[in-house]
Chain A
């Protein structure tokens, strides 16, 4: 059973527009959520995180929104740039038995077209 789900395997967006990546989770014990970006042949790069005590966190062009009642989080990238093209992973931690480790979704491939 997947505790963290990214239901869209891919997303295509025009340069300059907003990219919205979505993630759902099932474990209500999760209290920390992260987004990572991954280029081919490289490890995941940390982008932004949010604690369950918040519902929004911003860092430059990246904003993460958390809806605890819906067990849903999203990553907004504004404006999108061609260099943002990569696979984006959602991750969560804090559930029983998962102290210290991250549970990852399977990723969404973002393509930003010039």
Chain B
């Protein structure tokens, strides 16, 4: 069974540009999560999508956005890139659902996209 796949592996951008990161979940998983791991910081929750809808959002500015497609893959878009956006961006997937069901199942991670802002 294929795991969570992310592309590209590395992405280099300059300040003010836009970045698009992609994620394909494990087959059968409907929920996709995005996390940021900046240097020296732990994993910070960004966004959660389930069945094409944004379910929850972390404490990040609106220039961080995304979407989930009908095949459950997802994109993370970061507009007006700033130097502090340089980080590892991790995508995870799970079986999805609401409430206790959503909270009580493991998330499985991809290997991430390393975004560097020059």
- Residues of A near any B CB (own CB < 8 A): 31-32, 34, 36, 41-46, 49, 51, 89, 93-94, 97-107
Using Cβ atoms and an 8 Å threshold, which residues of chain A touch B42? 89, 104-107
Chain B contributes a number of interface residues (CB within 8 A of A) equal to 27
A101–B45 CB distance below 8 A: yes
Across the interface, name the chain A residue whose C-beta is closest to B112.
A43
Using Cβ atoms and an 8 Å threshold, which residues of chain B touch A94? 103-104
B106–A104 CB distance below 8 A: no
Q: A102-B45, A104-B42, A107-B42 are in contact. Are A34 and B106 (CB under 8 A)?
A: yes
Complex Cα gap A43–B42 (Å)? 13
Using Cβ atoms and an 8 Å threshold, which residues of chain B touch A106? 41-42
A100–B111 CB distance below 8 A: no
Using Cβ atoms and an 8 Å threshold, which residues of chain B touch A103? 45
A100–B50 CB distance below 8 A: yes
B11 at the interface (CB under 8 A from A): no
A99–B102 CB distance below 8 A: yes
- Residues of B near any A CB (own CB < 8 A): 4, 31, 33, 35, 41-43, 45, 48, 50, 55-56, 58, 90, 92, 99-100, 102-104, 106-112
Complex Cα gap A56–B104 (Å)? 15
B103–A43 CB distance below 8 A: no
Q: A32-B103, A106-B42 are in contact. Are A101 and B109 (CB under 8 A)?
A: no
B99–A99 CB distance below 8 A: yes
Complex Cα gap A42–B111 (Å)? 5
What are 19 A-B interface contacts by the 8 Å CB criterion? A32-B103, A34-B107, A41-B111, A42-B111, A44-B90, A46-B106, A49-B106, A93-B103, A98-B56, A99-B103, A100-B48, A100-B55, A100-B56, A100-B103, A103-B45, A104-B42, A104-B43, A106-B42, A107-B42
Complex Cα gap A105–B90 (Å)? 16
Contact of B104 among A41, A51, A89 (CB under 8 A): A51
